[in-house]
Amino acid sequence: MVDKESGKIINSWGTNLFVMPHGLTVDNDNNVWVTDVGLHQIFKFNHDGQLLMKIGEAKVPGNDRTYFNKPTDVAVSKDGSFYVSDGYGNSRIIKFSANGKYLFEWGKKGNRQGEFNILHGIDIDNDGNIFVADRENYRMQVFDSSGKFIKQFVDENFGNICAITIDKKSRQVFTVDDLSFLKMKHIGSDFIIIDSADKIQTRQGRSGSYNGTTCWYHDIAIDKEQNVYVCDILRNRVQKFRKIVLR
């Protein structure tokens, strides 16, 4: 954990526990969820770093009710049940009860509705709908809590959609994309804000007013003041963008 103003480290844990931690989610009870794509596991910690739950067998990939294959992210519902985007090796979303019992799943590899090509990030809105960053299909998909397709977000200017988070107060969708040339030369990333009417409100990054170095945004989070935090894996850093209120 780091101080959100200074960026100084406050606390840390996980030494000799993780291989390649990937997705990080904080639920309504301040529990911290981590996916590890190297271990093929999901971890749940309390806010002090005490391990509360672990799902999956270490270093054993699979695609049944017990095993994952490089899971990318977790989204936690109001009732404590949670969804896992099992998205690098598999192409599915799995729902578990609050105590970790398998409930159901949906998805397969493809580009049709309800299909995925690297299911990379996931979040839940106030109505319990599931928003999914379908990375290599350059889109976001939305499902109800039972996995029924509702809609998708596509735009000719989208790159690979890497991550997604929802501001529960404003109902805005915050996402990050990535653009590369022939999957070899990295061009840059944007973070994108979509309003409650499904319209793009803001783009910031390679196509906006950001004047910094080229970035590769891999994850995104917001705080209560709508400040935006993005994980730049090209330069191994976290960037913070402060919301500007025009008066």
Q: What is the pLDDT of residues 24-33, one digit of tens each?
A: 999 999 999 9
Q: CB within 8 A of 115, min separation 6: which ones? A: 91, 107, 108, 109
Tell me, what's the pLDDT at 213? 83
pLDDT at 6 (0 to 100): 82
Q: How confident is the model at residue 78 (pLDDT cuts 50, 70, 90)?
A: very high
pLDDT of residue 41: 98
Q: How much is the CA Rg of the chain, to the nearest whole Å?
A: 17
Question: Can you tell me the distance from the alpha carbon of 140 to that of 36, in angstroms, rounded to the nearest whole number?
Answer: 23
Higher pLDDT, 10 or 100: 100
Give the confidence band of 11 by pLDDT, cuts at 50, 70, 90: confident
- Which band of pLDDT confidence, cut at 50, 70 and 90, is reported for residue 50? very high
pTM of the model as a whole: 0.94
What is the residue-averaged pLDDT of the chain?
93
Q: Which domains does the chain have, with CATH numbers?
A: 1-154 (2.120.10.30), 157-247 (2.40.10.500)
Dist CA 114 CA 75 (whole Å): 18
Please tell me the distance from the alpha carbon of residue 146 to that of residue 6, in angstroms, as a whole number: 41
In this prediction, residues 1-11 reach a mean pLDDT of 82
In the 8-state DSSP scheme, what is residue 16?
Answer: T
The confidence score (pLDDT) of residue 200 equals 94
Query: Which is higher by pLDDT, 206 or 209?
Result: 206
CB count in 10 Å sphere of residue 8: 7
